[in-house]
Structure 1
């Protein structure tokens, strides 16, 4: 006996490969001064990647943070018991790079990667060595590049300097 499942047409039309990929990935909410952003990621075993994508259920994300001084996203991870394939998807407004040239580091060592863009997101896939504890994706602009506090401080300093300059200049 054969069975088939028919998805409603509205659902089939609203779901794209981009959305399906996100359904297969884990998600982490990144809270920054610039807002709240959803970062998608997945750890896959290399053997599984060749056969269609077996998720590595041992590897896990402990902490995700932004490092404004290095214009990077930093992933602190644990339990990478074998060489994995790591996939990351993040919005353009979280991290961007000139000419889409990012630097990917695994425990400080450069990694090659594949990059694709879709809608408003960057997708990066790379090989993650066994026992990796930290992954950093470096770009040229990260949210928030300048915090609102620093912007206000800079504005106050500029106004003070202009005010002092106006007092000392006499004609």
Structure 2
């Protein structure tokens, strides 16, 4: 805590609200005190729109690169909650204590995501809040079925996990 005190918790849930880009995420802090806003200053990167390297046990719903342009927000949230709860259950069962996506996996995923937009309307020079500073859309380039598939089961091999 700010006053230096510590509290034993089984789970802490923070509802930071919906932010479509790096604005207003300065208070989300990962390892070494880096804020999520600082991490995203060189480009918004995350793993499957749910997790971020350097932010252990941090999960987002409807995060950047979610299929907000081609799937219901309710369904995106439901798919995300199911994925997050699978991770939380692994923590509750003491299979793992920490889950954080590997940098190399996140980098490869981000590159694949960016390349998937190709010559779509998203990258045609339009001006939109969906686009980052490099003109890369913060949405999902594939069909909704691919989002469902990718988030059906956490692939622990894609994560650095700490076991008890």
TM-score, with normalisation over the residues of structure 1? 0.28
- Which protein is bigger by CA-based radius of gyration? 1
Q: Which has the higher contact order (CA 8 A, sep 6+)?
A: 2
TM-score, with normalisation over the residues of structure 2? 0.28
Which structure features the higher share of helix residues? 2
